[in-house]
Chains A and B, each alone.
Chain A
Amino acid sequence: MPAIDHAEATRLWRLMCRIRRFEDRVHADAEADRLEGYVHTYAGQEAVAAGVIPLLRANDWLTSTYRNHGHAIARGVPLDAIAGELLGKATGVSGGKGGSMHVADQALGMIGAMGIVAGGLPIAAGAAFAARYRSEDRVAVAFFGDGAVHQGAFHEALTFASLFTCPVLFVCENNLYAETTAVDYHLLAGSVVAMAEPYRIAARRVDGMDVLVVRAAAAETLEEMRRDGRPRLIEAMTYRFNGQYEGDTQTYKPPEEVARYRARDPLGLFRAHLSSGGIVDERTLDAIDDEAAGEVASAFVAADAAPWPVAAAVTADVYTGDPVEAERS
């Protein structure tokens, strides 16, 4: 693993714990039927969000997907605003309009979390185009899954970004499945990296379970992009620990595969590295983890207690300037 100092290590560890404890809570709530709607958790993939997003600058752009909780937490969206959104409360980051599949905070440069597979890629490319056009020193990052690479939107976004020199980083979180469909069944190119090369986009595949590996690759890639203004692609090999969405029985996953990836839990790997390397001791790691669990618990307490949106909000924000109509009496 690449080197890391104590301060940076504890920051990353805290972030990964926040994501995991948040998703643990979401998973438990979903199992207990306390959450409504479609919920896709990020557990198992923490090293990708934690490896990339903290390296971004405050003015960089992001797009995400329905599997967005990890990206939102890494970008600094407050946990109670995410929990509030998941419960559909007025305090949610979008006032309850979007729910779990659309958690994004535009104040933090998150343009959106798209429910349509590959929907965010061309949009991120366009944000990067605007940055170049306006000579702004900022990049865009689009997170997407392995299943997205057969969409026209993937190919058209890569072409656009490469042809028009857009500083956009395409981050494919290859978690081996698109819903129940195994990546080795559909990915005829053999890798997502191989699909970027024909578009003259430099691409690399990394171990997406190792946060320091992801971080080193992302740091180098972002530096290159900020220098030459060209798009790049990172394919992070990872695994989702829960179902495609909460409630998925996951019968398509071979048990030995699950065990193999559980043994490479990104939190477990990082923890072992930090404690065995004498970078952060076990007690500190545990204390941080407990704090993260506490923050998550209080975020849900706040969300539970928060008010519902007013019904009149249904027709607000369809167009610019639409107010929340005064409630009819």
Chain B
Amino acid sequence: MTRELTIKDAINEALHQEMAADDRIVLFGEDIAGGAGRDVSYPPAADAWGGPFGVTKGLLGRFGRERVIDTPIAETGFVGASIGAAVAGLRPVAEIMYVDFIGTSFDQLLNHAAKLRYVYGGKISVPLVIRTVTGAGFRAAAEHSQTLYSLYTHIPGLKVVAPSTPYDAKGLLIAAIRDPDPVIFMEHKRLYMQRGPVPEEPYEVPLGRARIARPGTDVTIVGVQKMVHTALAAAERLQAEGIDAEVIDPRSYSPLDTEAILSSVRRTGRLVVVDESHPRCSLATDIAALAASEAFFELKAPIRQVTAPHAPVPFSPVLEDAYIPSPDRVCDAVHDVMAERR
């Protein structure tokens, strides 16, 4: 029996193992330990939090405040400092508590982390990981629910990964930490408690390699992060109707495993892309464009995209439920592409 962990614990374990093996790794973020300034007066406060989701819990106790560093609410400062520390020989892992807050430090990522290597002719490396939390479904409203995958994917020089299983969360994070380039590691808040098998020893899931989450022959469904699970739920229902869907989890958006996606589309001739983000300039449009330009003659039906609307994430439970792509909508899209007979 393989051991099972949640995604939250898989990430925690990856950080534990990599920090134990490599003392160049330091963590920066707001309340990632918790209780800064209260350790002396009130010892139990140390390590009480581990971030709002408890992902970094226990690291302070093992590695101390020298390496698990609670920062003030100053993202430009600690993201920029992580770039400098990376250039100067450390391996910082910085946490932007919610991806929605990226605006406050985006310049450092967009213009510096992403471009240092290129602008200086390959003479400088930025081995940096930014961990950040994505996703709707938490009733967290417009400023704490975004996904923003494409904002990073758009920028040459940044690598972007977004795991949907505990196995990939651990392996991709380890690969991201060991990678010589800046990697944005996106954690979906609604997937933290997702359980699955995770080997105990450290391992890498290579960046830029997609995963077939479910093999099938009739239609390819590409899911983006949490939407992999939405696609899988849809695939179960479709199976009952005799439609055999293949579900692809790209896991890495930059670099993107174009071959894995294209070879699946060439086999099935039908493509549905499911993305929780807004539809314009999204991973959905990116993947659809890839298939349309590279596999046009193998397609038996127009590509369908199932996305959130071009609107911010609403708070109200009824509105948010209508907002997030559902298995029903995926099934509808699959029915549409299956109806096409060519």
Contacts and interface: CB of A to CB of B under 8 A. Distances in A.
B319 A314 contact: yes
Contact of A96 (B76, B311, B314): B314
B31 A88 contact: no
A311 interface: yes
Contacts of B281: none
B319 A151 contact: no
A186 B73 CA distance: 9
A229 interface: no
A311 B322 contact: yes
A97 B45 CA distance: 36
Contacts of B104: 116, 151-153
Contact of A114 (B52, B143, B314, B316): B143
Contact of A254 (B38, B70, B77): B38
Interface stretch (B5-13, B15-23, B134-142, B332-340): B134-142
User: For chain A, what secondary structure do more than half of its interface residues adopt (helix, strand, loop), or is it mixed?
Assistant: loop
Nearest to A178: B73
**By CB atoms of chain B within 10 A, which of A85, A186, A252 has the most?**
A252
A181 B70 contact: yes
Given A251-B45, A252-B45, A182 B317 contact: no
B76 to A, nearest CB: 6
A101 B141 contact: yes
A152 B77 CA distance: 9
A251 B319 contact: no
Contact of B143 (A101, A148, A309): A101
Interface string A67-89: 00000000000000000010011
B143 A180 contact: no
B142 A185 contact: no
B315 A37 contact: yes
Interface string A178-203: 11111111100000000000000000
A151 B45 contact: no
Interface string B124-155: 00000000000000111111100000000000
**By CB atoms of chain A within 10 A, which of B31, B104, B317, B319 has the most?**
B319
A288 interface: no
B141 A99 contact: yes
Contacts of A99: 139, 141, 315-316
B36 interface: yes
A251 B314 contact: no
A132 B303 CA distance: 54
B141 A115 contact: yes
Nearest to A94: B315
Contacts of A114: 143
Contacts, number: 158
User: For chain B, what secondary structure do more than half of its interface residues adopt (helix, strand, loop), or is it mixed?
Assistant: loop
Interface in A81-119: 85, 88-89, 92, 95-102, 114-118
B44 interface: yes
A96 B316 contact: yes
Nearest to B103: A116
Contacts of B138: 37-38
A148 B73 contact: yes
Contacts of B3: none
**By CB atoms of chain B within 10 A, which of A89, A98, A99 has the most?**
A99
B226 to A, nearest CB: 18
Contacts of B76: 152
A147 B72 CA distance: 7
Q: Which 6 A-B pairs have the closest CB atoms?
A: A185-B37, A99-B315, A88-B316, A96-B316, A182-B37, A37-B139
17 contacts: A88-B318, A96-B315, A97-B142, A99-B139, A114-B143, A115-B100, A115-B143, A115-B144, A117-B101, A150-B74, A178-B30, A180-B38, A181-B72, A183-B37, A185-B37, A251-B49, A318-B311
